[in-house]
Amino acid sequence: MNSIVLVTGGSRGIGAATAVHLAKLGYAVCVNYLSNETEANNVVAKIEGNGGKAIAVQADVANENDVIRLFKVIDSSLGRITHLVNNAGIVLPQMRVSEMSAERINKVLTNNVTSYFLCCREAIKRMHNGGSIVNVSSAAARLGAPSEYVDYAASKGAIDTLTRGLSLEVAADNIRVNCVRPGFIHTNMHSDGGEADRIERLKKLIPLRRGGEPEEVAASIVFLLSNEASYITGTFVDLAGGK
């Protein structure tokens, strides 16, 4: 059976590293992106340059109609999906809860939680012969991100619960659902939050005394997707340097 994977938020950071790694292993990859077409096409070009197969598809995965369209494109261009990496997400500028508006909170929850549910729904509908899903959560789900991103941390706590509940719901259908929880990883997300050098400020608090690389997270995602993890479901891998 051909392995066909969707990586949401696949144009940069952890998503891009995961897409490239999976393609090297023979997966046909859909690189989903929201707005940066150039970066998404660069990931596809890198994959094709290594002899792999990939397409880039624009879709806002927090939008139900966009998700339905995204999966229809995969159906027609690559075939029926067998694997899913839910990676797309946002973080907004650092802020205390006492300052957060309902608009901000709802934007984070819709982008970081609703999107995962929608993509899981469409993937499961197609995984008639089994499949594998990996959700990208965050160490923030355990740590809370006080005074910075409690809304983001709460959204990732929801992803942990989604992972556990869905893994039990679809286990009898031979669909595995697992989760990775990255900590301080060198991606553009810190710039999105208004502090590009956040890891440098906090690395002394990390037992390994450094931030992680996207490729290190990708390696665990790839393992959990693979047949080597065939008896693993509802499981969490923390990639936070010991924190």
What is d(CA 202, CA 164) in angstroms, rounded to the nearest whole number?
30
Question: Half-sphere exposure (CA, 13 Å, Cβ side) for 30?
Answer: 31
**CA pair distance 165, 169, nearest whole angstrom:** 6
Q: How far apart are CA 19 and CA 89, in angstroms?
A: 16
As given in the structure block, the two tokens for residue 99 are 């300052």
137 close to 179: Cβ distance less than 8 angstroms: yes
Q: Give me the DSSP letters along 19-70.
A: HHHHHHTT-EEEEEESS-HHHHHHHHHHHHHTT-EEEEEE--TTSHHHHHHH
Cα 60 to chain centroid distance, Å, stands at: 14
Separation of first and last alpha carbons in the chain: 39
Q: Look-up: residue for tokens 């879709």?
A: 59
Instruction: Report the C-alpha gap between 190 and 193 in whole angstroms.
Output: 5
Q: Exactly one of 33, 116, 152, 231 is catalytic; which is it?
A: 152
Distance of alpha carbon 106 from alpha carbon 236, whole angstroms: 26
Element (H, E) at 104: helix 102-109
Active site residue 149: no
Catalytic residues: 152
